[in-house]
């Protein structure tokens, strides 16, 4: 039943991936995590404590390395988490934003995530999720805030983003088929083959990889 449910969840994503207008990469395989969710924050910022500010300086494009988390053949990573504001006592509009771009790309891009808080002593905890292209195991992000000053007078800001995968298993292998991944826990494999009908083939659960035996 769980496998069937996973197919129903994955199929709409795959159908969307079959449509390949300019600027998109066709998705052919989709891996579903086979264990309980866990946090592996790849982007974490807390302006009040200073955590993450050196690694992710405000208003600067910063490379985020996920090579130890996603499969080697991964073309994108799905991030989910929270944008956080803890409003201070001073009346002001507090507005953090997030922008993303491909690794080592030179262009600048406007924000794609934002939240806002204007009530003194209030706050926000807003869910944020997005698919980000991955190149050489990296992507880039930039964040900014609309106010300066320290909490409790002024707003404190936080960002906590996690990939929706577990750390990549040392027993994971890439097969001879491009983009095909098999792990010790197995993955849901859905093939999206080009055709006039744009219909994906049936989903199937990959068997667990066999452990290597030494001679």
DSSP letters, the chain, are: -HHHHHHHHHHHHHHHHH---TT-----------S------SEEEETTT-TTTTTS-TTS-EEEE-TTTS-TT-SEEEEEEEEEEE--SS---B--EEEEEETT-------SEE--B-STT-EEEEEEEEEEE-BTTEEEEEEE-S--S-TTTS-EEEEEEEESSPPPPTT-EE-SSTT-EE-SS--EE------TT-PPPPPEEPPPPPPP---
Q: pLDDT, tens digit, for every residue of 46-73?
A: 999 999 999 999 999 999 999 888 888 8
Give the model's pLDDT for residue 33.
63
Give the model's pLDDT for residue 182.
43
Q: pLDDT, tens digit, for every residue of 69-112?
A: 888 888 888 899 999 999 999 999 999 999 999 999 988 999 99
Give the model's pLDDT for residue 177.
45
Fold topology of 39-165? Jelly Rolls (2.60.120)
- Domain-wise residue ranges, the chain: 1-34+171-209, 39-165
Query: Region 15-24: what's the mean pLDDT?
Result: 52
- For residue 28, what pLDDT band results from cuts at 50, 70 and 90? low
Percent of the chain clearing pLDDT 70 (strictly above): 59
């Amino acid at each position: 039943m769980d496998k069937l449910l996973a197919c129903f969840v994955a199929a709409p994503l795959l159908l969307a991936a079959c449509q390949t207008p300019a600027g998109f990469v066709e998705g052919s395989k989709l891996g579903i995590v086979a264990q309980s969710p866990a946090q592996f924050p790849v982007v974490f910022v807390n302006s009040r404590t200073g955590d993450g500010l050196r690694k992710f300086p405000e208003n600067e494009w910063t490379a985020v390395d996920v090579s130890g988390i996603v499969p080697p053949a991964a073309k994108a990573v799905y991030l989910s988490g929270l944008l956080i504001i803890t409003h201070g006592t001073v009346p002001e509009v507090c507005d953090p934003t997030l922008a993303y771009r491909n690794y080592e790309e030179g262009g600048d891009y406007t924000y794609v995530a934002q939240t806002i808080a204007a009530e003194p002593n209030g706050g926000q905890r807003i869910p944020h999720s997005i698919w980000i292209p991955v190149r050489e195991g990296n992507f880039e992000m930039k964040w900014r805030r609309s106010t300066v000053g320290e909490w409790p007078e002024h707003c404190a800001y936080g960002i906590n983003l996690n990939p929706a995968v577990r750390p990549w298993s040392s027993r994971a292998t890439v097969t001879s088929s491009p983009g095909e991944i098999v792990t010790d826990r197995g993955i849901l494999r859905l093939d999206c083959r080009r055709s006039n009908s744009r219909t994906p083939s049936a989903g199937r659960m990959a068997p667990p990889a066999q452990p290597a035996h030494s001679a």
